Structure 1
Amino acid sequence: MSDITVIGGIAADIEGHPYEELKKGESNPGKISVAYGGVGRNITENLARLQAEVTFVSAAGQDFAGRMAVQELAALGADVEHVHLLEGENTAMYLSILNSVGDMEMALCNMDVLERISGHIIDRALPRMRASKIVALDANLTEDVQVYVMEQLAEVPLFLDPVSAPKAERSKNHIGRFHTIKPNVGEAEILSGLEISSEKDLAEAGRYFLSQGVRRVFITLNARGVYYKDASTEGILRPGTVELISATGAGDAFSAAILDSFVRGLSVEATARYGMAASGVAMASKTAVNPQMSRETLEAKLKLLAQEDK
């Protein structure tokens, strides 16, 4: 049985970049790249690279993209028995067309299959989830499915990654059911109903979440670090030197680090430091998950951050 179960989205990201000026209505020579993403999938891959025992619960299409995404996770050691490849559905996809300078000209997304992560899929994975030390939800799950998971796993600590401010609305009315949450500032505003524009506001939001029943709060502040709080400890960690190639996936790496830290019994402050290190490793790669992510890489990053703090 896995220590950690992640329930959430899996997607294929397709990006087109023309060699010259983009001409609409024509076939433009250029470079096309395909990568696998989705918040839940990215968290799972990070955990697998950290050699954590992790199960992933999701839904994708019975198509090439879905099969390959599942095979990739399985090859890394993740348990993908409960990723359901559904006939007649397309794997969630995000297609973007860039212009010659790298700015997005247009995009098309199809995330319909994520609405098929249903109570039936949850039921089939319940024995695995009830044996987990913590279960993570990303807010691609509908509100009804989130509530169903809460009802079925009343004795299991739950973790929330809100995904985005609009999707955070799905969890707002049930925030106290989560043991640990990791919103950014915009998502924290939605979840708390508070405006956050200062450190004082962060502290007020932290108190609000704990008053609702949340045990641990991590509010990421983009380039300004992270605010963390539990019943006895509160603080803000500032980032050290960061090699920024791409910020995509940094939040997913932070979430993975929080889950791994919970299983290892780390304090809220140590968890925040571990998350910051994971984000730093993620940002040093052009892919959503850095293939160099490992426990050894994170330990080296932690030592570097500790030296910079002196």
Structure 2
Amino acid sequence: MTKREEEILKIIKENPLISQQELADKFGLTRSGVAAHIFNLTKKGYIAGKGYIINEPNFVTVIGGVNIDILGLTDTTLIQQNSNPGHITFSLGGAGYNIAHNLTKLAVPNYFITVYGDDLNGQKFEEDAQKNHLAIQHSKKIPDKSTSSYLYVNDPDGTLNVGVDDMGIYDDITPDFLSERLATINTSAYCIIDTNLPEKTIDWLFDNCKVPIFVKTVSLNKSYKLQNVLSKIDTLMTTDKELAMLTNSSVTDAKTAEKSAKKLLKKGIEHIYVLMPHTGLFYIDNRNTKLIAGIPIKRVNNNGASAALTAAVVDSRLNNLGWEKTTQIAYTAALICMESAKSVNPLLSKDYLLKTVTRYLES
């Protein structure tokens, strides 16, 4: 590929619907000159089809939130309404960000689509994306708004005690915002979303997205947004508490999880993963069920575990692994995340994940 072709391809990745005349104006070329470069890129296999579809095999799109996570981890059991000794950490997080970051660490090509503020935390996100090779060219910086933030306090075993989120900026992920990016979304293998998206945007996406959609729930007070689209979800990643809310039932163990999950299968969801941090991982589809019992590890932080699980499921599906192997890999990814104070464990890689599966589940 020539330098000029690299420059043109970069612009096309950022805007797959850009016209040849716009490209010509940008580079000071004739339209016929641009057409020749595009012909060469197509011939070389970098572009496929109309609308400058980028020919990247098995890439996925992730649409969701990016936050600044502020974690307070107590040294002993939390005493309510009192100062507690412990440790405070600041890091980038958010369900969508965590999924995209985990996918990148697993070498799965992906575009992360989000909104963030024109502030110091937004700058940190841009610097982090460059450092960790996250593709955020379809994301948008919103002037005069603050990047989303999430403040939470965990008990020593990693269990969430209380959290406060400031995420009003996600209202800017509108149907109009996504419609400008729909060509990219619909040429991906899968679209993964979290429930930080506004309800009307989720409804619109399920009406317009032509590829399987994976959904990760993020909290009890946001799971209601899925009520109109349950019949259209390919794969749902959730927790026992969020499953209970979605089905208006009690979920306390694998038996009640199965009973509740079957209600969602009847509505049309094809695959369901229920992460119960201390109990294990429950998987169900219309033919199979599996519970992987909880494995004793030193839990530091459960936040981010479902995102790691989601990324591992996506990677396994892209590689056509069976449901049973996928479930093992997914739960191991969640465990690896729980062992780190960060929402994405720096140790994660595909090699490390597979070695840990062997150590935890196949020994």
Offset at residue 306 of structure 1 (A): 3.1
Distance 1:285 1:87 in 2: 33
SS at match of 1:12: strand
CA pair 54-214 structure 1, distance change in 2 beyond 3 A? same
The residue that corresponds to 2:201 in the other structure is 145
The residue that corresponds to 2:99 in the other structure is 43
Distance 2:220 2:162 in 1: 22
Verify the 8 A CA contact 2:102 2:344 in the aligned structure 1. yes
SS at match of 1:160: strand
CA pair 37-303 structure 1, distance change in 2 beyond 3 A? same
Verify the 8 A CA contact 1:53 1:78 in the aligned structure 2. no
CA pair 60-301 structure 1, distance change in 2 beyond 3 A? same
RMSD over aligned CA atoms reads: 2.7
Task: Give structure 2 stretches of 5+ with no counterpart.
Answer: 1-55, 75-85
Q: Which amino acid aligns with 1:258?
A: V
Percent identity over paired residues: 23
Offset at residue 242 of structure 1 (A): 2.0
The residue that corresponds to 2:310 in the other structure is 255
Verify the 8 A CA contact 1:67 1:85 in the aligned structure 2. no
Please tell me whether residue 243 in structure 1 is matched to residue 243 in structure 2: no
Q: Return the TM-score normalized by structure 1.
A: 0.87
The residue that corresponds to 2:188 in the other structure is 132
The residue that corresponds to 1:294 in the other structure is 349
Deviation per residue, 1:16-55 (Å, 9 max, x gap): 799xxxxxxxxxxx98642111111111111111111111
The residue that corresponds to 2:249 in the other structure is 194
Q: Return the TM-score normalized by structure 2.
A: 0.75
Verify the 8 A CA contact 1:175 1:191 in the aligned structure 2. no
- Written as runs of structure 1 = structure 2, the 5 A alignment for 1:1-310 is 1=56, 3-14=59-70, 33-95=89-151, 109-153=165-209, 155-308=210-363
Verify the 8 A CA contact 1:162 1:183 in the aligned structure 2. yes
Offset at residue 149 of structure 1 (A): 0.6
Q: Which amino acid aligns with 1:72?
A: D
Worse-superposed segment, 159-168 or 69-78: 69-78
CA pair 120-304 structure 1, distance change in 2 beyond 3 A? same
Verify the 8 A CA contact 2:195 2:216 in the aligned structure 1. yes
Worse-superposed segment, 216-225 or 233-242: 233-242
Offset at residue 239 of structure 1 (A): 2.9
Offset at residue 97 of structure 1 (A): 8.7
* Larger relative contact order (Cα-Cα within 8 Å, sequence gap ≥ 6): 1
Distance 1:104 1:247 in 2: 7
SS at match of 1:300: helix
Verify the 8 A CA contact 2:160 2:302 in the aligned structure 1. no
Deviation per residue, 1:215-253 (Å, 9 max, x gap): 111111221111111222111111334232322211211
CA pair 184-14 structure 1, distance change in 2 beyond 3 A? closer
Distance 1:276 1:130 in 2: 29
Verify the 8 A CA contact 1:16 1:96 in the aligned structure 2. yes
Task: Give structure 1 stretches of 5+ with no counterpart.
Answer: 19-29
Worse-superposed segment, 211-220 or 259-268: 259-268
Verify the 8 A CA contact 2:328 2:361 in the aligned structure 1. no
Deviation per residue, 1:266-301 (Å, 9 max, x gap): 222211111111011112211111111100110111
Distance 2:71 2:286 in 1: 44
SS at match of 2:313: helix
CA pair 134-213 structure 1, distance change in 2 beyond 3 A? same
CA pair 136-89 structure 1, distance change in 2 beyond 3 A? same
Verify the 8 A CA contact 1:230 1:268 in the aligned structure 2. no
Distance 2:249 2:217 in 1: 16
Q: Which has the larger radius of gyration?
A: 2
Distance 1:240 1:17 in 2: 22
Q: Which amino acid aligns with 2:67?
A: A
Worse-superposed segment, 223-232 or 108-117: 108-117
SS at match of 2:192: strand
CA pair 182-95 structure 1, distance change in 2 beyond 3 A? closer
